[in-house]
Chain A
Amino acid sequence: MIEPAETVIALEGISKSFGKVHANRDICLSIRKGKVKALLGENGAGKSTLMSILAGRLQPDSGSIRVDGVLQRFPSAKEAIDAGIGMVYQHFKLVESMTVAENVFLGQEGGRFLNPPAMAAKVRELAISHGLEIDPSATVADLSMGEKQRVEILKLLQRRSRILIFDEPTAVLTPQEGDQLFKALSHMAAQGKSIVFISHKLGEVMRVADEVAILRKGEIVEEKRIDEVASQDDLARMMVGKETFLTVVKEAVVVTKPVLEVRDLSGNGLKGVSLTVRRGEIVGIVGVAGNGQKPLVETICGLQAPERGEITILGKPWKTFFSQRKLSETLSYIPEDRIGLATCPSMNLSDNFLLTTRKGFRKGPWLRRKRVETESRSVVDRFSVLPGHLSSQARHLSGGNLQKLVLGREFFRKPGLIVAEQPTQGLDIATAKDIWGHLVGARESAGILLITGDLNEAFSLSDRVVVMFEGKIVDSFDVTDTEKRSRVGLMMAGAST
């Protein structure tokens, strides 16, 4: 299928695990001269880990990298850059107050004195020859996101990078800027550069790629030429995989009154979202990441204000609910970002337990430290957080144990509504099962909104499934509807239902 003669970089049997989680497992991938290779996969599939290995920022546990057929090791990013590998990150690494030309030459001025006219001329020449028009003397702070991205690309071209890796390059671009980028990519490929294009947007991949490799749970499940792919739906199916049901025991629970009602929520990337969660049920929101799940969750959980539309939480309007937060009978948010949002890494376990439960331990202005100790002890034990030393810093916990601590803390508040965002992402299967058990058990007293990129998780836990695409809800169906379930991949890809 792949002619070895043209291979610039060959990854052979790359594996990398973090604790018990296999981020990459025995990956073989070849990047060829003059071709655009798309790396497609859901969040947490291992795309970023793989590219970090290639860029020298992570060391693989096993496997090897060949550049032009020669074995190479990249102990740091410098060696990878020297080998001609350049990466355009989602978050640009530019000096905002400097000009385009200064940024392009940053760190490789090649002498003690600068020659601005020569630098500008060089940048202009590079830009024109690669179809990346830009004014070399413009200040970066004044540029649009698309133009900033062009500066990043020019930086790599100036360093003579031969392999250009783009990490979800269109995430920050307008559609027009995206079109320009695709043109530039084809142009560069035609000039013999190799392009790796990381994405989870299927349409883009179909448009721009010559070859596509699909990653699922750390493994490459398919590698094809794009003309071998029948359609976008075909890609969706490969990305999502076959349904393999997990055994989660769900006892019937009576569904009662609504705990969350969202009506015509718009703005912040949302387009008229309406949904209801009732006590006793789990509503699973599925969709490819970046289709409005984040703003939806952040608005429901009070991190950003709704622009248009209404939200009612536990019978109260959004504004009232968040201005008079109560300890129990409340909303518990289990965020995807466990370490940066749900916890304070340098505080100890009992202080982290206190973050959202502090109102339950106050007596006037005082904190009842003794009770905090006993209650956090019992939560840590009940949710088997290991190692459970209350006085050790949260940063020392593994992802799974940290998540169990967060879950224990949030359940301690006896919430009426639970918003769980990617609750098992990056966790090993045993911990994930624990967490599923806790969520299913919580239906007794709460309604649960589950946001996940993992369809298996969504189908095995949810009572109802809601599919989001481009800020809209495209469909919502009962989990027992097998016909709809088989088409969920298409819906996630934006195919009309």
Chain B
Amino acid sequence: MDTQITGKMLDLTIRKRQESLKGTAALIYCGAVLFSLLLSAALLIFQGNSPVEGISLLLQGAFGSMYAIEDCLIKAVPIYLCSLGVAIAFRLQIWNIGAEGQFALGAIGATWVAISFPGLPSWAMIPLMMGAAFLLGGAWGVIPAILKLKMKANEIIVTLMLNYIAILILDYLVYGPWKASDSYGFPMTDEFSSAAIIGTIGETSLNWGLLICLLSGIVIYIFFKFTVMGFELKASGENVRAARYAGFPYARLVIISMLLSGAFAGWAGFVEASATLNRLQPTIMVGYGYTAIVVAWLARLNPFYIGISSFLLAGLRVGAENLQLELQVPAAFGDIMEGMILLTILAATFFIHYRFARRQRS
């Protein structure tokens, strides 16, 4: 029978990988990011710019100076918190794409405390703002969880729609009841009292939000590794049937993961309102909640890698701004690159699970 094989044809088939990859996986992902950079370079050529100059301006703008790196870190803080939250829901295979809305609600909660009780000292003000951001952001996450459990509503649709509702609520507040008297018609609240503003660290422009990130990351790591509930969340995400078999309280897990997911995004909103803008205004919504999804995916939901990829994607934002100034490329360029990174990463996951093999034909 085998002797009948006369020649090999270049005929590819797809085979499932039997062994799990370790080092190769990292290589595949690096290759994916590199590939998206190449695609971006191609886009630059298309616009009549030099790709080498463009990419180097991008990198220079992001990481070329101390000031640039500080800027990246400042932007990485809200991205990190949103992404950490998103990753908790993703662990349970709940597709929360509502970090943007949960971020908005967190900012609203923190602002409410700041402008309602302007006289509070900072030791009371900051924890109260964080508490309000946690509760409102968390509630915005729990709504889709309840709808999913009670009405079987798809959480992707619900979380996405809640984003628009959240942004409209924010707009209503800053255009209406919360509008500052001295804003000359601009939609913004009064500036927060100094007690409501998270200070900067030493001589740098970095704020203490960085510490919140660090602590949150450690807490989440410990939560998943050393608590019973963290274990139950992880295991349910791996195999829902096994979770039912082992008697896990699945509904409770869904609610809690979405509560935490929304709460961390809410904290990101708090940090942005307090440290970056010192008030609430519509420009607070710059899409960190969506970037967080890319970051979580890039980092394979690991809190430590989320830190690295938050920093890199924040760098992409900063670098793209520089590119915009220097080469007059459209502002959307950064978003396009972010999208391309997500797509190439998703495409790369295919190669983690499958490989091409040559088919032998008789």
Contacts of B361 in A (CB 8 A): 75
Contacts of B239 in A (CB 8 A): 340, 343-345
**B235 located at the interface, meaning its Cβ lies under 8 Å from any Cβ of chain A in the complex:** yes
Contacts of A347 in B (CB 8 A): 234-235, 238
User: How many chain A residues touch B (Cβ–Cβ < 8 Å)?
Assistant: 33
- In contact, A325 and B247 (Cβ under 8 angstroms): yes
**B204 located at the interface, meaning its Cβ lies under 8 Å from any Cβ of chain A in the complex:** no
Query: Could you count the A-B residue pairs with CB atoms below 8 Å apart for me: how many are there?
Result: 71
**B181 located at the interface, meaning its Cβ lies under 8 Å from any Cβ of chain A in the complex:** no
- In contact, A75 and B359 (Cβ under 8 angstroms): yes
- B residues 61-111 touching A (CB-CB < 8 Å): none
**B173 located at the interface, meaning its Cβ lies under 8 Å from any Cβ of chain A in the complex:** no
- In contact, B228 and A71 (Cβ under 8 angstroms): no
Q: How many Å lie between the Cα of A322 and that of B226 in the bound state? A: 26
Q: How many Å lie between the Cα of A214 and that of B13 in the bound state? A: 36
- In contact, A355 and B228 (Cβ under 8 angstroms): no
- B residues 215-265 touching A (CB-CB < 8 Å): 225-232, 234-235, 238-239, 241-242, 244-247
Distance in angstroms from A253 CB to nearest chain B CB is 28
Distance in angstroms from A463 CB to nearest chain B CB is 27
Query: In the complex where A64-B1, A340-B239, A341-B245 touch, is A354 in contact with B231 (Cβ < 8 A)?
Result: yes
Distance in angstroms from A439 CB to nearest chain B CB is 19
Q: How many Å lie between the Cα of A367 and that of B231 in the bound state? A: 8
Contacts of B234 in A (CB 8 A): 347, 351
Query: In the complex where A341-B245, A356-B246 touch, is A73 in contact with B1 (Cβ < 8 A)?
Result: yes
Contacts of A325 in B (CB 8 A): 247
A contact patch SS: mixed
**A369 located at the interface, meaning its Cβ lies under 8 Å from any Cβ of chain B in the complex:** yes
- In contact, B226 and A366 (Cβ under 8 angstroms): yes
**A67 located at the interface, meaning its Cβ lies under 8 Å from any Cβ of chain B in the complex:** no
Q: How many Å lie between the Cα of A302 and that of B226 in the bound state? A: 28
**A469 located at the interface, meaning its Cβ lies under 8 Å from any Cβ of chain B in the complex:** no
- A residues 141-180 touching B (CB-CB < 8 Å): none
Distance in angstroms from A154 CB to nearest chain B CB is 28
- A residues 356-376 touching B (CB-CB < 8 Å): 356, 358-359, 361-362, 365-367, 369
- In contact, A351 and B227 (Cβ under 8 angstroms): no
**B20 located at the interface, meaning its Cβ lies under 8 Å from any Cβ of chain A in the complex:** yes
- In contact, B245 and A322 (Cβ under 8 angstroms): no
- In contact, B20 and A393 (Cβ under 8 angstroms): yes
A and B contact pairs by CB, cutoff 8 A, 29 listed: A75-B360, A75-B361, A75-B362, A76-B13, A76-B359, A302-B247, A303-B245, A325-B247, A340-B241, A341-B242, A341-B245, A343-B239, A344-B235, A344-B239, A345-B239, A347-B234, A351-B231, A354-B235, A355-B242, A356-B245, A356-B246, A356-B247, A361-B228, A365-B228, A366-B226, A366-B227, A366-B228, A367-B227, A367-B230
Q: What 6 A-B pairs have minimum CB-CB distances, sorted nearest first? A: A344-B238, A344-B239, A355-B246, A356-B246, A362-B228, A365-B227
Given contacts A325-B247, A351-B234, 9 further A-B contacts (CB under 8 A): A73-B1, A301-B245, A340-B241, A342-B245, A345-B239, A355-B242, A356-B245, A358-B228, A358-B232
